[in-house]
Amino acid sequence: MSTSMRRQLGTAISLMRRGNLHGLGRRIADRHRRSRVPFRPIEHAEWWARHALLSDRERLILGRRLVKVGDLIRVTVVVSVGRRDVADLPGLVGSLMDQVHVDWELVAYTDPSIPEASLRELDCGDSRVRRISMTATSLRPGMLPNRLLNDATGDWLMFLHPEDRLHEAALAAIALRAAADSRFTLVYTDDDLLDASGLHQNPNFKPPWNPDLVLAQGLVDHTFAIARQTLGDLGPPFASIRKLTMELALALAGSEVCHLPFPFCSRVRGPTRQSDQAEVQELSTRLRRWHPGTTIERATDGSSLRIRWPVPDPAPRVSILIPTRDHGRLLERCIDSLLSITRYPDVELVLVDHDSCQRRARRIIDRISERPDSTVITHTGPFNYASMMNQAVEASTGDYLCLLNNDTEVIDPGWLTEMAGHLTRDEVGIVGALLLFGDRTIQHAGVHPGLGGLMGHGHKHRRHGDHGYHGRLTVAHEVAAVTGACLGIRRTTWDLLGGMDQDHLGVAYNDVDLCLRARSAGYRVLFTPHAVLLHHESASRGPDEDPAHNDRLRGEIEVMQARWGSILEDDPAYSPNLDLDGGGFLTADHPRWTPPWAI
Mean pLDDT of the chain: 88
Query: The whole model's pTM is what?
Result: 0.89
Q: Is the dihedral of CA 260, 265, 270, 273 positive or negative?
A: negative
pLDDT of residue 163 exceeding 50: yes
Top CATH class, 318-569: alpha beta
Measured in whole angstroms, the distance separating CA 269 from the mean position of its chain's CA atoms is 25
pLDDT digits (tens, 9 = 90+) for 348-405: 999 999 999 999 999 999 999 999 999 999 999 999 999 999 999 999 999 999 999 9
In one-letter notation, the amino acid at residue 361 is A
Between residues 483 and 272, the one the model is more confident about: 483
- What is the 8-class DSSP label of residue 88? G
Given this model, what pLDDT does residue 478 score? 98
Separation CA 343–CA 147 (nearest Å): 50
Given this model, what pLDDT does residue 34 score? 41
Considering 131-145, 212-226, 419-433, 532-546, the range whose residues carry the highest mean pLDDT is 419-433
Given this model, what pLDDT does residue 566 score? 80
pLDDT of residue 137 exceeding 80: no
Q: How many residues does the chain have?
A: 599
Q: Tell which phi-psi region holds residue 108, choosing left (phi > 0), alpha (psi between -120 and 50) or beta.
A: beta
Share of the chain above pLDDT 70, in %: 87
Given this model, what pLDDT does residue 599 score? 75
Enumerate residues 6+ apart whose C-beta is below 8 A from 495.
none
Separation CA 174–CA 146 (nearest Å): 25
Does the fold of domain 318-569 match that of domain 56-273? yes
Between residues 26 and 585, the one the model is more confident about: 585
Assess whether the previous peptide bond of 314 is cis (omega < 30° from 0). Answer: yes
- The answer to whether 264 and 170 have CB atoms below 8 angstroms apart is yes
Separation CA 355–CA 189 (nearest Å): 54
Given this model, what pLDDT does residue 285 score? 84
Separation CA 456–CA 479 (nearest Å): 12
Separation CA 373–CA 584 (nearest Å): 42
pLDDT of residue 136 exceeding 60: no
- The answer to whether 354 and 382 have CB atoms below 8 angstroms apart is no
Separation CA 18–CA 39 (nearest Å): 28
Given this model, what pLDDT does residue 243 score? 84
Q: From the CA atom positions of the chain, what is the Rg in Å?
A: 26
Please give the average per-residue pLDDT across 36-62, as a whole number: 86
Q: Tell which phi-psi region holds residue 51, choosing left (phi > 0), alpha (psi between -120 and 50) or beta.
A: alpha
The domain spans of the chain are: 3-36, 56-273, 318-569
Using CB atoms within 10 Å of the CB of residue 253, give its burial: 0 to 12 exposed, 13 to 18 middle, 19+ buried: exposed
Using CB atoms within 10 Å of the CB of residue 270, give its burial: 0 to 12 exposed, 13 to 18 middle, 19+ buried: exposed
Q: How many degrees, rounded to 5, is the angle at CA 108 between CA 105 and CA 111?
A: 170
The pLDDT confidence band at residue 29, using thresholds 50, 70 and 90, is very low
Which segments of 82-128 are extended strands (E)? 104-110
pLDDT of residue 26 exceeding 60: no
The pLDDT confidence band at residue 40, using thresholds 50, 70 and 90, is low
Which segments of 405-517 are extended strands (E)? 408-410, 428-436, 442-444, 447-449, 455-457, 477-478, 486-490
Please give the average per-residue pLDDT across 46-63, as a whole number: 96
Between residues 300 and 487, the one the model is more confident about: 487
Please give the average per-residue pLDDT across 489-510, as a whole number: 97
pLDDT digits (tens, 9 = 90+) for 186-212: 999 999 999 989 999 999 999 999 999
- CATH 3.10.580.10 fits domain 56-273: no
On the CB side of 287, CA atoms within 13 Å amount to 26
Name 136's bridge partners: none
Q: Which of 111-125, 237-251, 263-277 comes out lowest in average pLDDT?
A: 263-277
pLDDT of residue 533 exceeding 50: yes
How close are the terminal C-alpha atoms of the chain, in Å? 43
